[in-house]
Amino acid sequence: MKKMLRALGALTLAASAVALASSSALAADKVILGVAIPTADHGFTGGIVWWANEAKKELEKAHPDLKVIVKTAGSAPEQANQLQDLVTVNKINALVIFPQESASLTQPVAQVHKKGVYVTVVDRGLTDTSAQDAYVAGDNTAFGKIPAEYLAKELNGKGDIVALRGIPTTLDNERWTAFEGVIKQHPDMKILDAKYANWNRDDAFKVMQDYLTRFKHIDAVWAADDDMMVGVLKAIDQAKRTDIKIVFGGAGSKEAVKRIIDGDKRVQADVSYSPKFIYDAIKLTAEARLKGDKLPPTTIIPSVLITKDNAKQFYYPNSPF
């Protein structure tokens, strides 16, 4: 009898151990995904926030073992603090981050990565790629190259251009390098100046006012974002300047695309760069981690020229951007 009791006790302990191990395995399989993104301070980031929350809603419904925590930040220091909270308070094991800035967020992201968190960086790349597992972005080289090629063609390879850049980030550098590289191939085309306008229509309005005061003749403007394009157009209209033939924005906002469809004489084309890639990045990362898989090191979503011929394919009137 004592032998039987000892045997039953051993079996009970073994069963408990198996159950505990199974429970631990299930707990380890749960993905807690942090999403760190900028606040909706202009149209494009408004689209980023909207698509991120769409991803949270749809993915949590489809995957019971997934929790998505979305954090928005208005500055780089705020976003860095949020990363620490996501690790220490929320206990995330995966992160999708759209960095406020490249350089200042690289070290905070690297610290998260060193703690074993799987990291996907979106759009604004880090200055040290060893701090990430994957990178998802639009085609920033094409984003700069396509407008330059369009302007060179429409201006017959000659003319004076002013440019408005975004904020100091790796992606802005990629865009500017591509744009400038094409223009340099045309000796009769000149970039009069290029200043940062922070992807913001009010800042772009001020920068364009400065250009209009300093330069008595401008053939075209590259405002490397559709929000900046709005500010540029407002400044041109206020100054009643008629010399500017083309204003080229970027990202395929519904306002820009609608102008193209309606035949706006100055906004004749745009380049696609949808904020939906944050949704794609969250979905790809979550589904890969639920399977224990990794993403390719780099995923690039193509940017294409939008003209009146294909504009209706890019027009989403219900979108926030």
State pTM to two decimals.
0.72
Predicted local confidence at residue 7, as pLDDT:
41
Cα–Cα dist 57/55, whole Å:
5
Architecture of domain 27-138+275-301: 3-Layer(aba) Sandwich (3.40)
Predicted local confidence at residue 215, as pLDDT:
98
Architecture of domain 140-271: 3-Layer(aba) Sandwich (3.40)
Buried b (16+ CB within 10 A) or exposed e, 193-206: ebbbbbbbbebbbe
> By three-state DSSP, how is residue 301 classified?
strand
Cα–Cα dist 304/123, whole Å:
17
Cα–Cα dist 128/51, whole Å:
27
Judge if 27-138+275-301 and 140-271 fold alike in CATH terms: yes
User: According to the 3-state scheme, what is the secondary structure of 41-93?
Assistant: CCHHHHHHHHHHHHHHHHHHHHCCCEEEEEEEECCHHHHHHHHHHHHHCCCCC
Predicted local confidence at residue 183, as pLDDT:
98
Predicted local confidence at residue 274, as pLDDT:
84
User: How many other C-beta atoms lie within 10 A of the C-beta of residue 310?
Assistant: 13
Predicted local confidence at residue 11, as pLDDT:
38
Predicted local confidence at residue 202, as pLDDT:
97
Return the ∠ at Cα 83 (arms to 79 and 86), rounded to 5°: 130
- What does each of the 321 residues of the chain score in pLDDT, given as a tens digit? 444 434 434 434 344 444 333 333 333 479 999 999 999 987 888 999 999 999 999 999 999 999 999 999 999 999 999 999 999 999 999 999 999 988 999 999 999 999 999 999 998 889 999 999 999 988 999 999 999 999 999 999 999 999 999 998 888 999 999 999 999 999 999 999 999 999 999 999 999 999 999 999 999 999 999 999 999 999 999 999 999 999 999 999 999 999 999 999 999 999 999 888 899 999 999 999 999 999 999 999 899 999 999 999 999 887 788
DSSP for 184-241 reads TT-TEEEEEEEEE-TT-HHHHHHHHHHHHHH-S---EEEESSHHHHHHHHHHHHHHT-
Q: Where are the domains of the chain?
A: 27-138+275-301, 140-271
Q: Are 278 and 70 in contact (CB under 8 A)?
A: no
